[in-house]
Structure 1
Amino acid sequence: MRALAAACAWLLLASAPGPAHAGAPPGPGVSAEPASAAVGTFVRVRGSAWSPGTTVQAEVCGANAVHGSPDCDTPHAVTALVAPAGRFEAGLTVGEPPAHCPCVVRVSALPDSAGPPAAATSPLAIPGHPDGPVLRDVTPVRADIVSAELTGGGRRGELFGGAPRRTLVVRVRNAGAEPIVGAPLVARWGAGDVPDSPLEAPATGTIQPGRTATYRIQVRLPSASFGRFVVGGRFAGSVPFQAAFTTYPWGLLGANVVAALLLLIGVRISLRRRTARRRAAVQAAAGAAPPPRGRELDELIDHVRGLGRRSIDREELVAFLEERRGGPVDLAALDRYLGLDRFAVSEQER
């Protein structure tokens, strides 16, 4: 009997949980700093206890990410490689998730990475993003984007640097057998190929099976925008749509070109005037006598004609100028002038 009791006691001790279970390593963890961040800002995501060599993806999600990627802002997702110590760090841009808050930063191992499947979340408050209940059992939405096009544009103000305006018209058809009620509609715009600036989208209401609903979203860009822009988003978190347009303020560009040409012409005229003033200053510094002008020239011509000749000699010219100017004449300056002027004198026929 004693031997039987000892054997039973040994079996009980062997089947009891040992201290090794109490010390089991924790699962993968993740943290986000700061814990509250507005759309368009950055958070620092850190992870620990992940399988080394694993490639992980971090993204901002709504509804506590209970439905996976349909709740997440996948366009702004980033990837990181787990270091040998099981840690990683990445910077993540906060976008608007398609689902309501409570929001989280969700980190998951990519399916083709080296490590086993794993996921972890960290709470994140997004000021201004709507809150709502978390519905776990949600029937997947079956919807088709019939069309997504941009209307408007071509206004005169836009040609001269005004803010470009467009209207995104999205037509969605319910391809399922159940009504679609209050599905989230998220839209953004951006330069190039990445829409990263949020737009205000209307409530979607209810779409009956087989029916099509039309939604209009106003798009307004900053003043003097130019180049290619894209507007896109998702309906019900999983149905994407996108449209693109270009805008160039040709009037503003043309006005700048004309202003530049006028500036160059003004500089050229200013340089010419400055050169002329410098030339006149050099001649004045050399002491050249000013040529007869206006009434004095007419009187000189009449005087020559009155003498019945076509020219006068130097002495007669000096006497004429002294009489008209009421003072002596610089003879050296007069000689230099006679060498440049078109008047003919008896000593130097021109």
Structure 2
Amino acid sequence: MRPVRRLPAVLLCVVAGAWSITAPAALAAGPPNAPPGGPGATAVPAEAAIGTAVRVRGSAWTPGATVQVQICGANAVHGSADCDTQGGVTALISPAGTFDAGLAAGAPPAACPCVIQVSTLPGSPGAPRTVTFPFRVLGHRVAVILKDITPVRADIVDVEVTGGGGWGELFGGRPRRTLVVQVRNAGADPIVGAPLTVGWGAGSDPDSPVDSPRTGTLRPGQTATYRVPVELPPASFGTFVVGGRYAAAVPFKTTFSAYPWGLLGVNAVALLLFLLGLRLAFARRAARRRTRATERVPAPMRPPVTQHITRNGADELLDYLDETAREPSGDYRIDREALSDYLRRRTAGPIDVAALEDFLALDRFKRQER
């Protein structure tokens, strides 16, 4: 009977010993999605379809810091390249070290397995922190992540283009810009000598490569700034894209414009002068045509002074015509020059021959009546 009574006591000791060993470790581990002694975060619900609302809450963060919350594919092994940065939200850490953010589930650029990534933004107090925990995006594609490839966890903090607008560029010189890229190491390991490829293009792809500087070593949590000179062909005109990749996995891209306004103004003035010259040339040609047309039209002759013929003069004229100009038919054949000479001798001025012809026609009419 004694062994039977000892058995429960022995079992109780074993259970108590196991609890004394595992309980402190479990308490020290904290939430399953947070490193020991570090911040953590959870999502409700743990899975959601694209476009539905998700509530993300965190604790043990540095008060006053700002965190970015976003959904990432491929377990975020490539940093921001795997994340839905456009659908991400930011939240401010309360004095108690907690935050509460509402997030709309989006489709990350990489396939699942997916996670929600919470990272402190540059400039926040305290050490940079990044926490990821599993999250299922319903309906999103799933792919296998290669385990033999060491991922580079880096985030593009900022991308901008500076410079430009000089006198040379305004009049058709080469546009010169400087691409400024800020990269942060979001992983736990240093990034050594990661390649930085940069190019520019006139369309949507930066397919014209440019020389890039060496990146050196980027320690965990460190942010580095890289400046890359970009030079375009002379008289480049329009909007251009410039971008590339960091460590062959983290893309970045932005746009800038180049307009040679001085050259455009000179061309506009030259075009106006050309059009004005054409107008003057056409005006001169039209004036010459009018001049030639005026020269071809004879000047109007002054009407001769018509002398009235008296009855005696008419009788003398008829006698002259009877002697010199009458045809056998009885009509008159008028020799204008002879008639003019005759009338000048008989009158004081020039005679309107047309009026004489009318007179003769009237005489013929009267003769016919008789």
For the aligned pair, the TM-score class normalised by the smaller chain equals: 0.3 to 0.5
TM score, norm. by length of structure 1 = 0.42
Larger Rg: 2
